[in-house]
Every structure is written in C-alpha cells, then in structure tokens.
Structure 1
Amino acid sequence: MSDAPLPENTSYDDAVRELQDILQQMQSSELGIDALTSKLQRASTLLDFCQQRLTKTEAEVQAVLKRLGLEDAE
C-alpha cells in the first residue's frame, strides 16, 4: 500500500497487521531505498491511526468507569 489516507472502515487490527508486514519486509531486507521511504511514510500514517484509536478507546473506557463510579479502579 502507499501513503494514501486510511479508509474510514479501517480497523485497528488491520492497521497493526499492515505495520507487522512492513516491519517484516524491513527486517528481511526486501526493500530498496525508494520503497523503504514509502513504507516508512505508510508506517507513520498507520502508527498515527493506531495511536488515535487507542487514545479514543482509553477515553471511552474512562468515561464508562466514571459513569459507574469506578474511575479510581485503574
């Protein structure tokens, strides 16, 4: 895949799988220098997406815990 924006229906698991594929390609030296740059840009996009999803999920969990009166139960 390229450095294209992620489709709206991209799941966290799909992004992690793609990141794992990129890492495997980098570790096995399958990539030339031009492809490496492209893959690094794509990995950055995927990492940003994953971080946003994790942050959103954490906020949702904290909101539920607060609503249940369990916000200190970390």
Structure 2
Amino acid sequence: MKQKTYSMKIPKDLTYEQAVHRLETIVAGFEQNTLELDHLSEQIREAQMLLLFCQKKLTKVETDVKKILDHEQE
C-alpha cells in the first residue's frame, strides 16, 4: 500500500526532541479527550508526519553510529 503524503510541512530546523514533544502533546490531548473535533484529523495527520520524521531521524543516527563503530574496528 502506498503511503499518502500530506501538504503539511515539517520545518527544516525541527529537532527530534521538538518533534517528540509535539507528538506527546497531541497524544496527551487525545488521551484526555481535549482535542477539538474540528481539528482532530489535522492533528492526527500532523502526528503521522512527526512520527515519520522521528523514524527517519532515528534510522539515520543508527546508520551513522554503525558506520563509526565499524570504522573503529578496522
């Protein structure tokens, strides 16, 4: 299944920590039932984009660390 892309843009200067904080805010609003219904789908899309952003960041860091460790073992 092809993943949908949304028009929402992630700021280029967004850090992993900022993305996680925003995700936690969205999740807390969802769990506490404080998200406005009119904005729920928009916030779910934002959470999806942030989650993808975080996954990509983690994958890149993991790859970089493996390269560093592999290089040290040579």
**Normalization by structure 1: what TM-score?**
0.84
1:24-63 alignment runs, 5 A limit: 24-63=28-67
* Equivalent position of 1:5 in the other structure: 9
After superposition, the C-alpha distances for 1:14-69 in whole angstroms (9 at most, x for unaligned) are 00000000011111111233311111000000000000000000000000000001
Q: Please list every run of 5 or more consecutive structure 2 residues that lacks an aligned counterpart in the other structure.
A: 1-6
**Normalization by structure 2: what TM-score?**
0.84
Q: Please list every run of 5 or more consecutive structure 1 residues that lacks an aligned counterpart in the other structure.
A: none
Runs of 4+ residues deviating >3 angstroms: none
